Amino acid sequence: MSHSNQILYTAYLLRIGCWVTEAARTKANIGDSVREVEMLKSPRCIKTHLPLQMLPEQLWTVRPKIIYVARDAKDVAVSYYHHHRLFFGYAGSSEDFFEALLAEIVPYGSVWDHILDFWKLRHEPNVMFTTYEEMKKDLPGVVKQTADFLNCTLNSEEMKQLCDHLSFESMKNNPSVSHEIEVAKLRGMQTNINGEIQPFMRKGEVGSWKQDITPEIEKKINLYTKMKLADTDYVLPFTKENCTAKMK
Active site residues: 49
Amino acid identity, position 140: P
b/e per residue 113-133 (b: at least 16 CB within 10 A) = ebbbebbeeeeeebbbbbbbb
Please answer whether residues 141 and 159 qualify as being in contact, where contact means their C-beta atoms are separated by less than 8 angstroms.
no
Parallel, antiparallel or unpaired: strands 127-131 and 44-48: unpaired
Distances (CA, A) of 54 to 12, 38, 58, 134, 240: 13, 17, 11, 27, 28
CA–CA–CA angle 162, 163, 169 (5° rounding): 115
Asked if residue 53 lies in contact with residue 112, where contact means CB atoms within 8 angstroms, the answer is no
What are the C-alpha distances in Å from 172 to residues 142, 166, 183? 20, 10, 14
Using DSSP, state whether 82 is helix, strand or coil. Answer: helix
CA distances from 199 to 83, 93, 145, 231 (A): 9, 18, 30, 38
- The closest alpha carbon to 218, from 48, 39, 75, belongs to 75
Pairwise CA distance, residues 24 & 44, whole Å? 26
